[in-house]
Structure 1
């Protein structure tokens, strides 16, 4: 009997959650596809079918992070009330706090940045970056429409700076020692920038 789309999606989710736990527990380099498959209750072939490789699993985990920004943009577009800049700040700082709460995330993110840098020259475009820029841009466009952005900021320039700031803070967190507190220091910088855009 052929598997339904819902069953396939659930299998994919199970594999991804197992991969995340294996990467966090053992580190990306030491995690094995056999262990990921066993933890998810599937065959290694199923892992290959859904994600191709261990690198594919890591990029799929990274791609999940853009989804919360897309959902925020969609939610704010349906709501007339509220301050989009506050909602964006809450989301970013919430993600920073979540990653900081488990120090294993630092190592996994370090590997993600490394793989990004080693593959960027082979790609004409980066779908992850484009999707994330698009989602952040939609939130900032709503802020511009509802409250306006102060001169000389535009939606495009604010989007580029916000994306660059997030990326820079995360890269700094990956490279620095434990004294760099992403949840505290990173969040303070994000809040300060967003506050400067309020009118």
Structure 2
């Protein structure tokens, strides 16, 4: 009996959901498509109908994580007279809120952090690098605008400010995800952001802006 498009989509989503749990529990390298099929309650043939191999399934799982709204961020930093540093700090804080409240995002990023990226999984790593490169370029443009408008402290360049923020956010989330959520990601993370952005600001400019962005 021929399956409907809705049924096929439901099966596909069930496979992706099962892969998320299996990869989280076993690791991508140790998990097999047989493990995923069993967890999803389907045959391996059903998996191959939707995905060519484990890498293809892993890529789809990676793509299921909502990314920051890049177009919105790009528009915001181009607004005349906008306090770019304030907006970047708020966007980073919003990301921490989303991370702390979204178990799906937590599992996917934990899987990515634990993955050994053997040769057959390199396409996933390459996809991550493409997204990261795009986000880094966006942040550098934002910090460059802050410098041109006199907000960025002369001790920082757009590149060094971007790296400091990128490394801090990456370190915060990695430590929180991999080592038992042993601190309050949102409260301590936003406090760290406040201190970091305080160092980004020109002293004169900092005196003229609200304490809370």
* TM-score, structure 1 as length reference: 0.69
Shift of 1:197: 1.1
- Residues 81 and 18 of structure 1: CA distance in aligned 2, closer, same or farther (over 3 Å): farther
**Residue 179 in 1 paired to residue 182 in 2?**
yes
**Aligned-residue RMSD, C-alpha:** 3.7
- Residues 190 and 78 of structure 1: CA distance in aligned 2, closer, same or farther (over 3 Å): same
**Residue 161 in 1 paired to residue 164 in 2?**
yes
Shift of 1:102: 3.6
1:60-79 matches, within 5 Å, as 60-62=63-65, 64-65=66-67, 67-68=68-69, 70-79=70-79
Deviations 1:96-124 (A, max 9, x none): 11121244543332111123x53599689
- Residues 35 and 147 of structure 1: CA distance in aligned 2, closer, same or farther (over 3 Å): farther
Shift of 1:160: 1.3
Aligned equivalent of 1:147? 150
Shift of 1:140: 1.1
Tell me which protein shows more helix as a share of its residues: 1
Shift of 1:80: 0.6
Bigger-Rg structure (1/2): 2
Q: Distance in 1 between matches of 2:104 and 2:199?
A: 33
**Residue 106 in 1 paired to residue 101 in 2?**
no
Is residue 24–residue 110 contact of structure 2 (8 Å, CA) maintained in 1?
no
Aligned equivalent of 2:31? none
Deviations 1:127-184 (A, max 9, x none): 1221121111122122112234212210111111111111111111112223311111
Q: Distance in 2 between matches of 1:17 and 1:132?
A: 30
* TM-score, structure 2 as length reference: 0.65
Aligned equivalent of 1:191? 194
Aligned equivalent of 1:53? 56
Aligned equivalent of 1:4? none
For structure 1, the 5+ residue unaligned runs are 1-11
For structure 2, the 5+ residue unaligned runs are 1-8, 26-34, 203-213
Is residue 34–residue 44 contact of structure 1 (8 Å, CA) maintained in 2?
no
Is residue 93–residue 186 contact of structure 2 (8 Å, CA) maintained in 1?
yes
Runs of 4+ in 1 over 6 A off after TM superposition: 15-18, 33-36
